[in-house]
Amino acid sequence: MKKDLPQAYLSRFIRAIIEFDMLQDGDKVLVGLSGGKDSLLLTYALSVLKDIAPVKFELGAFTLDPLFTDNFDATPIANFCRELNIPFGTEKANIAGVIASNQGKDPCFTCAFFRRGAVNTYAKKHGYNKVALAHHHDDAVETFYMGLLYAGHLKTFTPVTYLSRTGLTVIRPLVYFREREIKEIISELGLTPVASPCPINGKTKRQEVKERIAALEQTDPAFYAHLAAAMRGGKPTELWPAELDRQQLKQKHTAFWRPK
Interval 187-222: pLDDT, tens: 999 999 998 877 777 778 899 999 999 999 999 999
Buried b (16+ CB within 10 A) or exposed e, 231-258: beeeeeeeeeeeeeeeeeeeeeeeeeee
Interval 71-99: pLDDT, tens: 889 999 999 999 999 999 999 988 888 87
pTM of the model: 0.91
Per-residue pLDDT band for 2 (boundaries 50, 70, 90) equals: low
Cα angle, residue 198 at apex, residues 192 and 203 outer, rounded to 5°: 105
Interval 119-143: pLDDT, tens: 999 999 999 999 999 999 999 999 9
Looking at residue 260, what is its pLDDT?
66
- Chain-centroid distance, C-alpha 42: 11
Gap between the Cα atoms of 28 and 104, Å rounded = 38
Per-residue pLDDT band for 161 (boundaries 50, 70, 90) equals: very high
Looking at residue 45, what is its pLDDT?
97
190 touches 2 (CB < 8 A): no
Please give the full DSSP string across 95-109, using - where no structure is assigned: HHHHHHHTTTS-HHH
Q: Is the pLDDT higher at 80 or at 67?
A: 80
Looking at residue 183, what is its pLDDT?
97
129 Cβ neighbours under 8 A, 6+ residues apart? 27, 28, 29, 123, 167, 168, 169
In the chain, at which residue ranges do the beta strands (DSSP E only) sit? Answer: 28-32, 58-65, 88-92, 130-132, 160-163, 168-171
Looking at residue 51, what is its pLDDT?
95
Question: Which residue ranges make up each domain of the chain?
Answer: 7-236
For the segment 30-39, the average pLDDT, to the nearest whole number, is: 96
Hey, what CATH topology would domain 7-236 get?
Rossmann fold (3.40.50)
